[in-house]
A and B are shown apart, each in its own frame.
Chain A
Amino acid sequence: MKKILTLKNVFKDFSGLTVLSGITMEIFDGERHAIIGPNGAGKSTLFNIISGLYKPSKGNIYFLDKNITGWPINKITRLGLSRSFQIVNIFPRMTVFENVRNAVVSRFNRCFNFITLLNRDVEIKRESDRVIDLLALNDVRNVPASSLSYGGQRKLELALALALDPVLIMLDEPTAGLNTEETRNAMQLIRRLTEGKTLIIIEHDMEVVFNLADRITVLNHGKSLATGTPNEIQENQEVNEAYLRRIKSAA
């Protein structure tokens, strides 16, 4: 199978504090890959490094056969990688429609267009409405994003990532702060919307992870403990000791 993303021996330390030490992983075309691990394991740092927010201290990242190590964020995004954030990160004073439209304008590569009027752009409007439709945000289409419910804002966060129509989509705890019911709905939505796309997801809810993911990588103390199918991970002794057992006892 074709490799979409490859991390080779990636290190990251913040002025002495080592957060990632030698992560090597491969993401294949069309797979749903979950990243799990206890708090502070380096999951979010890993996301931030892949998406270009941080530069790795050592190691290389390849995306679609290009070495994207050290590339600026927008260039990596343009190549087809889009991500969501653990803490909702949207354009609060713009409406839901305008939020989604911002992403669509970028996807159609019109950020620097100063010849046409944005309101008159039928293509952009149609595509924005399609994304809003997909996420069932029609009711709140013209509501400022800041006055959406928390669940609504999480949905919009997802909409922004999806509106770019990326090759690889990375979701950082898309269900953080949602209740059981909302989590279930959100996961159904994610499953449906990422059909045929490559997905990397950070998630704490083990039930969700084992249902959704094709493969799982377990991080602990900045190292990759194991990678494998949900079954392999559940049976892995080391993972059980480091992580899963702790969750079970907590539950």
Chain B
Amino acid sequence: MSHRRTLQLVLIVTLVVLLLLLPKIFPTIYINLFIEIFIFALFAVSFNLLFGYCGLLPFGHAAFFGVGAYTAGIIFNRLHDIPLPMTLLMAALSGFLTGIFVGIFCVRLRGAYFALISLAFQMFLFTLAWKWRAVTKGDDGMGIFRPELHLPILGNISMMEISNLYYFTLVVVALGIFTCYLFLKTPLGNSALCMRENDFRASFLGYNIFLTKLIIFSVSALLAALAGALFVLFEEFVVTSSIDINMSMTVLVMSIIGGTSNFLGPILGATFYIVFQNWISSITHQWWLIMGILFIVVILYLEGGLISLFQMERFRFWVGRRVK
């Protein structure tokens, strides 16, 4: 056991050092890729909080990504005085509140009904973003300037410098993912598992099914919105594609390819997806087709997703045991 602990520690330290050194090693084009991976890793983790841990499969998770993106976009675009961390917090909060509102209607349902009504809400918000041109500029999209980050000792840090943006995104995403990781280890996180395993029995143990699912749903929405806000900061642009059905399906495909039975699965999935998509789309315009085939292959032949490849006996020590 302690042997395993040491190995895990070594791996974590190596990973942290590697992540910190990446911008020094790779050219700008790759740094952009890494930032995108971070953002989608956070988005996929938020998706998996709902699907992998609470047993609710949303087809419209981009709704919250989009709400975060638009909130941040509008603030960046119109209210220049608000500090960057505050903007992210407000975007996350907007996602949380939207999550509560949408969740009230969704979380009583299960299976296909839940999936479809979450899709319906996403389509509604998509239409809002598309048609309410006065606020969102519709399908023209809204350009933004990345604001500076004011830090007490270090002074003003420009986000136009790509390595600064890299570190900023890394810190926010790491905080988000780590908070989610700890959250799942609390009694409330355990309640989420009870909902997935047997919510009927849980209610006879005194668990409030509705409230538990609503909280998990809203927290998941909060993290998705945070990812959306970072996405706008990165793209310097917000348009309806951040709230459309493609985005919902992207996060779903990422998470399932990566593996939803493990906390790290969606992170691996996001990494693989972005890298693979980048590579394959430079070869062919029909990359969606390839991705689709890959998705089918994973579902049919690799039930636990890519992460399960690492869970075979000789690798097991460092990925840890599967979520049961």
Interface set of A (CB-CB < 8 Å, partner B): 51, 72-74, 77-78, 82-83, 85, 89-95, 101-103, 105-107, 110-119, 121, 124, 144, 160, 164
Contact = CB atoms under 8 A, between A and B. Distances in A.
Interface stretch (B10-18, B69-77, B208-216, B231-239): B208-216
A100 B205 CA distance: 10
B204 A111 contact: no
Interface of B: 182-183, 185-191, 193-194, 197-198, 200-209, 211-212, 215, 324
Contact of B189 (A51, A82, A101, A118): A118
A57 to B, nearest CB: 22
Chain A to chain B: the 10 pairs with minimum beta-carbon distance, closest first: A106-B206, A114-B188, A77-B206, A113-B187, A91-B197, A110-B187, A93-B324, A73-B203, A114-B186, A106-B205
B205 A92 contact: no
14 contacts: A74-B204, A74-B206, A77-B204, A78-B206, A89-B200, A102-B194, A102-B205, A106-B205, A106-B206, A106-B207, A112-B188, A112-B212, A114-B189, A144-B324
B205 A117 contact: no
B303 to A, nearest CB: 14
Given A82-B204, A107-B206, A164-B205, A102 B324 contact: no
Contacts of B187: 105, 110-114, 116, 118, 121, 124
Given A91-B198, A111-B208, A118 B190 contact: yes
A102 B202 contact: yes
Contacts of A78: 206
B198 A89 contact: yes
Contacts of B193: 94
Given A74-B206, A93-B197, A111-B206, 5 more contacts: A73-B203, A112-B188, A113-B188, A118-B189, A118-B190
A118 B182 CA distance: 10
A78 B204 CA distance: 9
Contacts of A113: 186-188
Nearest to A119: B185
B204 A94 contact: no
B204 A91 contact: no
Contacts of B186: 113-118
A51 B197 contact: no
B194 A74 contact: no
Contacts of B188: 111-114
Contacts of B191: 105, 111-112
Nearest to B185: A117
A88 to B, nearest CB: 10
A84 to B, nearest CB: 9
Contacts of A89: 198, 200-201, 204
Nearest to A105: B187
Nearest to A80: B206
Nearest to A108: B187
Contacts of B190: 101-102, 105, 118
Given A112-B191, A112-B215, A118-B189, A92 B198 contact: yes
Contacts of A103: 205
Nearest to B182: A117
Nearest to A89: B201
B1 to A, nearest CB: 14
A91 B201 contact: yes
Contacts of A90: 198, 201
A27 to B, nearest CB: 19
A13 B56 CA distance: 33
A77 B205 contact: yes
